[in-house]
Amino acid sequence: MNRNSANKLCRQLCLIVALVFSVSVAAQRDFSTIRTGVNATDAKIIERGVKAFERPKDAARTRGNGFDDDNKDHYKNNWNGYEYYRYTYPSISAKGEPITLTALAAMPTKYTTPINNIILGCHVTITDNASAPSEYITTGDWKSDVGMLIMHAKNKSASDLAYNCLVILPDYQGYGITRNEAHPYLAQEITARQSVDALRYGIELYKTSKKNRAKIRDNWKTICVGYSQGGSVAMACQRFMETNFLDADLQLGGSVCGDGPYDPIATLRTYIAEDKVYMPVALPLIIKGMLDYNPYMRRHAMSDYFNQRFLNTGIVEWIEKKEKDTGTIQNELKKTFNFQKDAKGEYIKVSEIFNPDAFEFMSKKMKGEPTEKNPKFDDLYTALTVNNLTEGWKPKHPIYLFHSKVDEVVPISNAESAYQKMRTDANPTIIKYTYTDKGNHGGSGRSFYFAFLGQSYEEMGVNAIAGGEESWNKFNP
């Protein structure tokens, strides 16, 4: 090769390197370009009620609330290349009052690879505070849904869009720092608002980190993800962002929702029609949540709906104290009630725990039969209707639904209701779904988040949304 040819080849190689480098640089941006509408300085350090590592006596002045080393509520996983921090942030309570809540944020420890996306992770139904995301630092199990969601922060190739993510995991009101308050179970609007506030403040705290953290890819998305109650919260967060004009600034991509109670009427209809409830704590969780926070329900009491035998088990106290997990509560109820078993699992009859007049009214109501006017039952039906995510909203961004056809806790009718009611002729593929033929509620959750080979259903959904319109259109679950 002569000198001229060599020089020409060298210039071409330099040009190629320069182009690749320029594309690489142009493909990412600084977090400061993201507009959240909130300020990190408002996320004050609150110590009350937070269990963590031992701190100095003057902890309130020495602990940081950001994503730096002065935040002692911090854990680093060198093996997987991510770390996570507990933080507090301001929001609005279910009663419309100012409140401070807790959340967990996970992020990659490799700063040279850009953040691919922001995952808003929404946790499952819990009855014990130890299972809250902010408690993961001290009590977490990597096999839990919180552990699975944190894995999105794992450091991998920049082309693997489901990883290298900033993951925000809010505690719902009634958990974490607010564990002494009632949890507004299935109060979709307020839980969504609080969760989106966790997202917005989490982004702002990431901006203020002193660690020169990774930038974010130019075409990043916010993706809401959750299973069970978390599935409905993920969908509610998408609705909240779309209906409050936050979807553009937060670059909402869509949501990945597994076996969620999107339509509480559909859930109750199945329970009543079959006269079976496989996770009995679900019913008092729903009704207590409505009694505590829904204006239609505040004049009523648990004894208006549940019989004394059920209430005497201590079910209300267990829910309020948040010391027993759902499995422990199930075992406690077996001391009083004779659980029966079918192909789906163990259950007790709804008619065994409801008052006779409550069961009769709801049976007629769910069948569409005429009922006499009765405030305590009419108000319950109205409160449930208000929290139906499948009515009064058409999504603008993709939703991937995953559901087991034999889920005994959250019936498949929830996903079917969402799919049938929320699509439009103008955008028929805005919702896509996978319905599996096997797996109870717990088993379906494991299938959603985990796969021995290849990608889990949840990861496939995240990748499809993260890749943008072309990727979503090719997605054929």
Q: What pLDDT shows up at residue 143? A: 86
- Mean pLDDT score, 121-131: 97
Q: What pLDDT shows up at residue 26? A: 44
Q: What pLDDT shows up at residue 127? A: 97
CB 177 within 8 A of CB 102: yes
- Mean pLDDT score, 383-397: 94
Q: What pLDDT shows up at residue 231? A: 98
Structure-block tokens of residue 72: 């002692």
pLDDT, one tens digit per residue, over 400-424 is 999 999 999 999 999 999 999 999 8
- Mean pLDDT score, 58-78: 78
Task: Identify the band that residue 142 occupies on the pLDDT scale cut at 50, 70 and 90.
Answer: confident
Is the pLDDT reported for residue 65 higher than 50? yes
- Mean pLDDT score, 246-258: 98
CB 223 within 8 A of CB 118: yes
Mean pLDDT of the chain: 90
Q: What pLDDT shows up at residue 368? A: 87
For residue 456, give every residue at least 6 positions away whose Cβ sits within 8 Å of its Cβ, in sequence order, or none. 447, 448, 449, 450
pTM of the model: 0.91
Identify any residues that bridge with 170 across adjacent strands, giving them in sequence order: 103
Is the pLDDT reported for residue 10 higher than 70? no
Q: What pLDDT shows up at residue 48? A: 43
**Nearest by Cα to 317 from 309, 307, 327, 329:** 329
- The DSSP line for 179-227 is TTSPP-TT-HHHHHHHHHHHHHHHHHHHHT-SS----EETT--EEEEEE
Is the pLDDT reported for residue 23 higher than 60? no
Q: Which of 1-15, 106-120, 230-244, 291-305 has the lowest mean pLDDT?
A: 1-15
**Nearest by Cα to 216 from 230, 202, 229:** 202
CB 170 within 8 A of CB 198: yes
For residue 421, give every residue at least 6 positions away whose Cβ sits within 8 Å of its Cβ, in sequence order, or none. 390, 391
- Mean pLDDT score, 136-150: 88
Q: What pLDDT shows up at residue 144? A: 92
**Nearest by Cα to 287 from 226, 439, 271:** 271
Q: Using CA atoms, how far apart are residues 277 and 266, in angstroms rounded to an integer?
A: 14
pLDDT, one tens digit per residue, over 37-61 is 999 888 866 544 333 334 334 334 4
What does R_g of the chain's alpha carbons equal in angstroms? 24
For residue 441, give every residue at least 6 positions away whose Cβ sits within 8 Å of its Cβ, in sequence order, or none. 228, 259, 278, 279, 404, 407, 408, 409, 410
Is the pLDDT reported for residue 277 higher than 50? yes
Give the rounded percent of residues in the chain with a pLDDT score beyond 90.
81
Q: What pLDDT shows up at residue 64? A: 78
- Mean pLDDT score, 226-235: 98
170: left (phi over 0), alpha (psi -120 to 50) or beta: beta
Strand, coil or helix: 376:
helix
Q: Using CA atoms, how far apart are residues 106 and 396, in angstroms rounded to an integer?
A: 28
Specify burial of residue 19 (Cβ count, 10 A radius: 0-12, 13-18, 19+): exposed
CB 441 within 8 A of CB 326: no
- Mean pLDDT score, 186-202: 97
Task: Identify the band that residue 3 occupies on the pLDDT scale cut at 50, 70 and 90.
Answer: low
- Mean pLDDT score, 352-356: 97
CB 449 within 8 A of CB 299: no
Identify any residues that bridge with 166 across adjacent strands, giving them in sequence order: 118
- Mean pLDDT score, 144-162: 93
Strand, coil or helix: 409:
coil
Identify any residues that bridge with 258 across adjacent strands, giving them in sequence order: 227, 402
Task: Identify the band that residue 1 occupies on the pLDDT scale cut at 50, 70 and 90.
Answer: low
